[in-house]
Amino acid sequence: MNKSEAKTRIEKLKKTINHHRYLYHVLDKQEISDAALDSLKKELFDLEQLHPDLITADSPTQRVGGAPLKEFKKVQHEERMLSLNDVFSKEDFYDWHERISKLLTEQEKAQLDFYCELKIDGLAIEMEYENGLFVRGSTRGDGVIGEDITQNLKTVQAIPLTLDEEKSLVVRGEVFISKKEFERQNKVLREKGLAEYANPRNIAAGSVRQLDPKITAARKLDSFAYDVVGGNFNCHEDEHKFLKKLGFKTNLNNKHCKSIEEVFAFYEHVGKIRAKLDYEIDGVVVIINNNALFEKLGVVGKAPRGAVAFKFAQSQATTIIEDIKIQVGRTGAMTPVAVLKPVVVSGITITRATLHNEDEIKRLGIKIGDTVIVGRAGDVIPDVIKVLPEFRTGVERNFHMPRVCPSCENELEKSEGEVLWRCNNAKCPARQRRNFYHFVSRTAFNIDGLGPKIIDRLLDEGLVADQADFFALQKEDVVHLERFAEKSAENLIDAIHAKKEITLAKFIYALGIRNVGEQTAIDLAMQFGRIEKLQRASLQDVEKILNIGPIVAKSAHEWFANKHNVKLLDKLFRAGIKIKKQNLESRILKLEGKSFVVTGSLESMSRDEAKAKIRELGGQVSESVSKKTSYVVVGAEPGSKAQKAEKLGVKILSEQDFLKMIE
Ligand code: IVH
């Protein structure tokens, strides 16, 4: 990005961030997620670091957001209430450490230690005491002038109204509401048919800025204290000890860390206990513990140099759609895929996101070159959530779906009622390639070390023309391929041979028959028991199977009738594929007739393992919750499926309940 482009981008970032800050802090409204806004702020911060001459006094990086509301009495903060700069990765953290190290002497650097605090996702407050009595409480406001919320804060039980000592002092901290309270209050709103709050912080913010303290009292707010303004303390840790002694609630998880390694270890530890905490946190605040050094480092813009907010992986971020490419699926479906400027979402760098189909591109209003908010559906699959058209500069382009297959140039077709364009050429090289990937994938033949990159090489070298050829590969064929050596070639061949025996269901699934997913493959295997029977089955035989509809039956039946496929099956068995004997009928199928949805992350196994277990015990697995779902297994940080289950009254199982059930 050249300087003038950076300038334009910075202007757009400032305008957009200010708009959302105003919505959020002044109007208590929210249009985009905190994570998306953080992502924009980070981009602005980074651009300003690259071009310091473009920093202006009105930049959101230079001021604390939120003008005080008219309805409240104003309070002038004796000392400005600052905010913190964010870091999102170890790399960012090292950058911060390097920046501050440059401002310190060798001797000072040697003394650097850190105080690490849980970053509570609430609202910053100031509490003033005179001779041991709570006299005033205020919000941060714009950092200089806040709102007087004394009466509201008096309803918060965790804030002492009198101190154990008759001291006059100013304390800062956070008000928040517990996850449980959040659920309870949203339930009340739901029952009244009112709009629910998006997150606990929104309730805390809304409650503390109520004109009627009775409403605040009913909201059961909580508070942690984390800072004494002024005072004569050597280090930040001592301030916490002092606050605790005076009767404030301080966070006992906070920790003094002597090195960067200890900070990282603490950050990771907090990430692990996060789900178990009764309140929301969004990272760890890392503060230079030595107060003299903290003071020396000073303030830049809106934030002290001597502290950062080390944020947890965010589930959303903003980035740019650099291009839209067409991906040819193994069944010939054409999926438009966004090529993204790399960005970290939930801890993983994403570079592509499926756009599903033409209609979805229209619905979202996407153009190539757009700035967008991305997330990960079900915490896994990257997806585009929203376009931010305010970032357009006029160079963005519309996307047009091609009319021919980008791989084989076959004319694409779209059946009535379908949203996807398809290439119906069974010999299409791109389709075949995908079919090979599918064949060896974890849920099919599960051949270790045979990933898409190696398959590409085998295909490009002409070593493999159909799936059966994998089993005929010899070490000598592979060893000369780039990045292979004797041992790795031997390992790959061994891995392939180790998987020659397979269950019938997995075998059927591996064939990549259109509309035949894992569950249908199991149903077919259960019904027919042997591949020969399935091959001989009539369309009616297949249609008769419970859970299998006419479309699925037709595509399964057609597949087995196709002469190329007959040849392929024959070749596979000649190559030594053996179907494992499984006495399906006599197995005790504990979960038969029950359908499950699994959401959130489980501790004792992956979601895929849980699903496999359910299927093994005769249960059915579905991806979406409906009234027909028997159970929803809910792990940590579940998605909307858990809420839907609750709404529909579907039975929810904790991981413990589930483990007991499959015991
Ligand atoms: S120390 C100079 N400790 O995070 C500000 N802040 O983005 C020093 N926050 O405005 C703040 N938990 O509202 C500190 N344990 C904690 C915190 C915490 C939450 C908030 C605070 C601040 C914001 C910074």
- Counting ligand 1 atoms within 8 A of each CB, the residue from 21, 85, 96, 119 with the most, and so the one to mutate, is 119
Cβ atoms of 458 and 467 within 8 Å: the answer is no
Q: Is 226 in the pocket of ligand 1 (CB under 6 A)?
A: yes
Residue linked to tokens 């059915």: 620
> Residue 233 falls within a domain, yes or no?
yes
Q: Look at residues 366, 334, 407, 302 and name the one whose alpha carbon lies nearest to residue 66.
A: 302
Say if residue 573 is in the same domain as residue 604. no
Which residue owns the Cα nearest ligand 1 atom 21? Answer: 124
Ligand 1 centroid – CA 182 distance (Å): 21
Among 278, 293, 311, the domain boundary falls at 311
Say if residue 268 is in the same domain as residue 333. no
Three-state DSSP at 386 gives: strand
> Residue 402 falls within a domain, yes or no?
no
Rounded CA-CA distance 92/313 in Å is 13
User: Which amino acid makes up residue 464?
Assistant: V
> Residue 434 falls within a domain, yes or no?
yes
Rounded CA-CA distance 596/622 in Å is 6
Name the percent of the chain lying above pLDDT 90.
68
Q: Which residue has the higher pLDDT, 653 or 195?
A: 653
Q: Is 219 in the pocket of ligand 1 (CB under 6 A)?
A: no
Domain count for the chain, please give it.
5
Q: Write down the pLDDT at residue 314.
A: 81
Range of the domain at 41: 3-62
Ligand 1 centroid – CA 140 distance (Å): 11
Q: Look at residues 537, 536, 525, 541 and name the one whose alpha carbon lies nearest to residue 582.
A: 525
Q: Pull the structure tokens for residue 275.
A: 């789900």
- Counting ligand 1 atoms within 8 A of each CB, the residue from 174, 237, 286 with the most, and so the one to mutate, is 174
User: What is the rounded average pLDDT of the residues 57-68?
Assistant: 68
So which residues are the catalytic ones?
119
pLDDT greater than 90 at residue 585:
no
Q: Identify the helix (H) or strand (E) that includes residue 569.
A: helix 563-574
Which residues have a Cβ under 8 Å from the Cβ of 354 and sit 6 or more positions away? 327, 335, 336, 337, 338, 381, 382, 383
Residue 62 φ/ψ region, left for φ over 0, alpha for ψ in the -120 to 50 degree band, beta for the rest: alpha
Q: Identify the helix (H) or strand (E) that includes residue 169.
A: strand 169-176
* Of 151-160, 200-209, 361-370, 432-441, the least confident: 200-209
Q: Write down the pLDDT at residue 451.
A: 92
Say if residue 304 is in the same domain as residue 443. no
Say if residue 157 is in the same domain as residue 171. yes
pLDDT greater than 60 at residue 66:
no
CA–CA distances in Å: residue 207 to residues 41, 185, 188, 213: 26, 11, 15, 9
Say if residue 53 is in the same domain as residue 38. yes
Three-state DSSP at 484 gives: coil
> Residue 507 falls within a domain, yes or no?
yes
> Residue 400 falls within a domain, yes or no?
no
- Counting ligand 1 atoms within 8 A of each CB, the residue from 21, 64, 83 with the most, and so the one to mutate, is 83
Total residues found in the chain within this entry: 663
CATH code assigned at 524: 1.10.150.20
Cβ atoms of 471 and 497 within 8 Å: the answer is yes
pLDDT greater than 90 at residue 245:
yes
Q: Write down the pLDDT at residue 590.
A: 79
pLDDT greater than 90 at residue 416:
no
Q: Is 371 in the pocket of ligand 1 (CB under 6 A)?
A: no
pLDDT greater than 90 at residue 58:
no
Which residues have a Cβ under 8 Å from the Cβ of 640 and sit 6 or more positions away? none
Ligand 1 centroid – CA 119 distance (Å): 6
pLDDT greater than 80 at residue 356:
yes
Residue linked to tokens 């030595």: 290
> Residue 377 falls within a domain, yes or no?
yes
Q: Is 66 in the pocket of ligand 1 (CB under 6 A)?
A: no
Which atom of ligand 1 lies at the shortest distance from residue 227's CA?
1
Q: Is the pTM of this model over 0.95?
A: no
Which residues have a Cβ under 8 Å from the Cβ of 448 and sit 6 or more positions away? 495
CATH code assigned at 610: 3.40.50.10190
Mean pLDDT of the chain: 91
pLDDT, one tens digit per residue, over 246-270 is 999 999 999 999 999 999 999 999 9
> What is the DSSP secondary structure assignment for residue 275, as one 8-state letter?
G
pLDDT, one tens digit per residue, over 9-57 is 999 999 999 899 888 766 777 889 888 999 999 999 999 989 999 998 7
- Counting ligand 1 atoms within 8 A of each CB, the residue from 41, 126, 226 with the most, and so the one to mutate, is 226
Say if residue 184 is in the same domain as residue 281. yes
Say if residue 339 is in the same domain as residue 266. no
Q: Which residue has the higher pLDDT, 114 or 220?
A: 114
pLDDT greater than 70 at residue 346:
yes
What DSSP line would sit under 288-355, residue for residue? ESBHHHHHHH-EETTEETTEEEEEPPPSEEEEEEEEEEEEE-TTSBEEEEEEEEEEEETTEEEEEEE-
CATH code assigned at 39: 1.10.287.610
Ligand 1 centroid – CA 531 distance (Å): 63
Which residue owns the Cα nearest ligand 1 atom 13? Answer: 124
Rounded CA-CA distance 405/424 in Å is 9
Beta-bridge mates of residue 373: 318, 386
Among 563, 584, 605, the domain boundary falls at 584
Ligand 1 centroid – CA 318 distance (Å): 24
Q: Is 512 in the pocket of ligand 1 (CB under 6 A)?
A: no
Q: Write down the pLDDT at residue 231.
A: 87
Which atom of ligand 1 lies at the shortest distance from residue 124's CA?
13
CATH code assigned at 367: 2.40.50.140
> Residue 499 falls within a domain, yes or no?
yes
Among 562, 584, 606, the domain boundary falls at 584
Say if residue 528 is in the same domain as residue 542. yes
pLDDT greater than 50 at residue 280:
yes
| pLDDT bucket at 586, cuts 50 / 70 / 90 | very low
Most confident of 33-42, 260-269, 537-546, 632-641: 260-269
Q: Pull the structure tokens for residue 200.
A: 């606990």
Q: Is 650 in the pocket of ligand 1 (CB under 6 A)?
A: no
> Residue 403 falls within a domain, yes or no?
no
Q: Is 82 in the pocket of ligand 1 (CB under 6 A)?
A: yes
> What is the DSSP secondary structure assignment for residue 226, as one 8-state letter?
E
Say if residue 630 is in the same domain as residue 483. no
Say if residue 53 is in the same domain as residue 83. no
Say if residue 96 is in the same domain as residue 241. yes
Say if residue 599 is in the same domain as residue 557. no
pLDDT, one tens digit per residue, over 422-469 is 999 988 999 999 999 999 998 899 998 999 999 999 999 999 999 999
The dihedral sign for the CA sequence 85, 89, 90, 95: negative
User: What is the rounded average pLDDT of the residues 379-389?
Assistant: 89
